Structures are given as C-alpha cells and as structure tokens.
Amino acid sequence: MGHIIPLFELAKRLVTHHHFHVSFLVITTADPLPAAKTNLLCSSTVPSGLHIIYLPPVDVSNLVADIPPGLTPLCIMVQHSLKLSLRSVLLRLTRPVALVIDLFGTDAFEVCDELSIPVYSFFTNSASFLAFSLYLPTLDRETEGEIVDIPGPVQVPGCRPIHTHDLLEQVQDRKSDEYKWFFLHMSRLPKAAGILTNSWKDLEPVPLLALKENPFFLNIPTPPVHPIGPLIEEDEPITESGKEILSWLDKQKPDSVLFVALGSGGTLSSKQLSELAFGLELSQQHFILVTRKPNDASAMGAFYSAGGKEDDPETYLPEGFAKRTEGVGLVVPSWAPQVAVLRHASTGGFFSHCGWNSTLESVVQGVPMITWPLYAEQKMNAAQLVEEVGVAVRPVVELGKEVVGREEIERVVRLVMEGKEGKFIRQRAKELRDSARIALELGGSSFDSLTHVAKAWKLGRNAA
C-alpha cells in the first residue's frame, strides 16, 4: 500500500492538473485483492480520465510457497505478471507517451525498449534512499565481505553517513535472494529516462542536491531526478468504524492524542506488543492504538492482507488493558483512517513504523513522530527523521535486546507529548507542513517539477 497509494495519487494528479489520460495497471494474483487495496481503487474520488486496468492474475504460489514475506515473493510476482501481459496491454493502449513504473517493476524496461516507450521510475521512497540505491552497485563492487561489517558508517557521496546497523535488511546478507533481487532492481535505475521521487526540496535538500550536482552521481550517469512530492492519499473512504474513531477524537483536547499505527503490514512480537501496551498505560497520555494479532516470526506478518479482518484485541493484549485505559485510550483492530486521524486537531504525535508514505502523511499534517522501524528501509528513514529532518525521536534499544521495555516507551511518549524536545520537533513539523503545501501549489517547486515532465511528454520528448 505504501507504493500503490503515491502511484495512484500521481495518476490522479496527471489527470486533474495536467489533463492526461492515464491507465493505472494493477498487478493481481490468484488470491483476492486485500481489502485496503480494493477500497482505494474503487473509491468514488477516481477522476474520469483515469482508467484502472487489472492485469491478468498470475499464480506463483508454487514459487513462493516456502518463502517468508518480503521482497523476494513480491519481485517474483511482479516479474511474472509483467512478462505475462505488459506487452499486450501496452499495445492495446493508444500510443502511450511514457510508462511510469514502481522501483520493483524494472522488467518493464525490456518490453518498452522494443515498443519505443520511455520508462520513468517513480521512486516512492525518500531521496536519501534513492541516493543510497544508486550508490549500491559501487558499494557492492568495492566491498569485501558483508556491507554491514564495514568499519564505520556508509558514506553515500554528498549525503549524511548511514550507520551500518540502520541499513535495510535486504543488504545485510549479500548471498541472500533478498539482496540479489534488491541489487538487480536498483542497478537498473540508470536505465530510466527520468526518476520521479516522492519528496521536495525543503524536506531533503542535501540528498536532492547531491543527486543533481555531486560528481559521483553525474558520472554514473544518473537520470534526471524530479522531486514531485509529497504525494499522499488526500481522500480516503471513511467506514463506520472510522467515523467512530474520529468522533472519539472530537472529544479530546488539541494535540493531546498519540496515534499508534505500524503500517499496512507491520506486526509486533507477543512480548513487544505487551511492552508497548504497558508503556502507553504508564505514560498516562491519551492514545489510539491500531493493533493486530502479534506475529513472533515476522515483523511484516500482515504484508499481503492489509485491511483484512482481525482477531479481537482482547485475546492478545495484556489482560485488563482495555478496561484500565478506558476513556484514555482507544484500541482499534487492524485498520484506521490514518490520513483523517493525522489531520485531526486532537492528534499530537504519531508512533510510526517510518514507512515513507506514513512519514509524509505525518509531516504534511505537522505531526511529530516516535520512530518504530520494522522492516525494509525503515531504520534508515528513522535515522534521517531524527538526525537530519528533526521531526522525530527514537527509542533507545538496549544492546543485545530485541524488545524495548515499557519504561523506555513511557519515556519517549511523554517526551513527545509533553516535553521540551517534543515542543521543538512539533514546531519543526509544522514548518515542514507549510513548506509541503507551498511545494504542491501552483508555482511551488514540486508542482513545477511535475509540470516540466508533463510538458516534455506532451511534446514527445524526455524530460531533462
């Protein structure tokens, strides 16, 4: 969902602001679409001129049956789907001026080369992560052994150093399939006619400048990078349960509620979920806890079932938790209208997994964060938000321990919701909120960046 949502918002913006006819290609499998995806694509806010095309379902169950959730099964799914139907679908469309792909859809390059259709990558992650991804082939070539064993941080040219313990899981074992798939797709990025990134100048000035001017990136060569963000979900369908959540928020004081939600696929272990619940209770702060059944095997246990039905939280939260926190906290199973909650005046903090989509939603609403990264590049995002952007605090994880204790959770919750540091990062978040709004308005940096690309497409050229 963190990739589909911004891609869909880009499609809508190309229709409504730049008057394109857009075909939005949806990869499907033999399994039913997750509820969250169905709700998004069937929304009444889809403009005329935006046509959703469901690619024929692919059955890769025999190929991914014994593979845990992660990048590998996703890439296998995408690869088989594009090979099966992309060419025939593009041939049925009327002279596409460009194909915009997700960063894991690079198998489209071969098809589009044959059809003379320029391919643009929409990098739905941060510009900082884009810089790392473009640097990875060089890092791989120059590193003996494992990247995570490099002494000292990884120095991406022109960017903030990255501590090896924050590197995404996919690069921690170079012999793994996860690394091979990630490396394959990132090594193909220079093939793109251009790279659209879901960011803007004021949020990430350093990596965006490096991508544009640093000699390393100029020599790769790096395709033109167009910051067009923040593209987030503007209107989401509000269910009856969502209306109840917003009604509860209406009764709370401004900036008084901590929103706890760990993404569309994130799951905690039983021990960690218990410590989180006790930490929230100890903090005595008002909260909304979006929770799902714990998973001791994977931090992304709900990755392919976003928005699906969940078990009763009382069966897995600490005994008596809901009753003891009644009136102070609200426990929500599985899913909440995140954009609407973050937009609400009563929401004063976001306890987040730091997926880039959720990060942008929080920044756009001026809400400070507590970082709780779970998988993929989320640790890198968390470090960036704390050390460079200045809109978040990060719990301290004791050396050798996998579970963050309730006392530390209580500390960071209080810090954000009532401490001096919380006031500072809240002010910084509100500054970026205003900056994001200006970037997307007529004449703003991101509006102009997408307009530049759109004009080039209409003239039959690639955007420089």
pLDDT at residue 266 in the model: 85
Query: Predicted confidence band at 34 (pLDDT cuts at 50, 70, 90)?
Result: confident
Gap between the Cα atoms of 7 and 11, Å rounded: 6
- Does residue 277 surpass a pLDDT of 60? yes
Gap between the Cα atoms of 91 and 440, Å rounded: 33
Query: What is the reported pTM?
Result: 0.94
- 378-414 b/e (C-beta count within 10 Å ≥ 16 → b): bbbbbbbbbebbebbbbbeeeeeeebbbbebbbbbbb
Kindly state the average pLDDT of the residues 248-263: 96
pLDDT at residue 310 in the model: 65
Q: What is the mean pLDDT of the chain?
A: 93
Query: Predicted confidence band at 298 (pLDDT cuts at 50, 70, 90)?
Result: confident
Q: What percent of the chain has pLDDT over 70?
A: 97
For residue 19, indicate whether it is catalytic. Answer: no
Secondary element (H or E) of residue 51: strand 50-54
In order of their start, the domains of the chain are 4-233+442-458 (3.40.50.2000), 240-436 (3.40.50.2000)
Greater pLDDT, 43 or 316: 316
Least confident residue range of 65-74, 292-301, 315-324, 451-460: 292-301
- Does residue 464 surpass a pLDDT of 60? yes
Q: Which candidate, 191, 174, 192, places its Cα nearest to that of 183?
A: 174
Assigned token pair, 209 = 């400048």
Assigned token pair, 271 = 């021990």
For residue 21, indicate whether it is catalytic. Answer: no
- Does residue 176 surpass a pLDDT of 90? yes
Candidate list 3, 185, 286, 344, residue with the active-site label: 3
Digit-coded pLDDT (tens) for 369-403: 999 999 999 999 999 999 999 999 999 988 778 89
Candidate list 18, 66, 102, 107, residue with the active-site label: 102
List, in sequence order, every residue forming a beta bridge with 25; answer none if it has no partner.
53
pLDDT at residue 38 in the model: 78
Please check whether residue 55 is in contact with residue 26, taking contact to mean a CB–CB distance below 8 angstroms. yes
Q: Which candidate, 385, 386, 291, 383, places its Cα nearest to that of 330?
A: 291
Gap between the Cα atoms of 451 and 18, Å rounded: 7
pLDDT at residue 39 in the model: 75
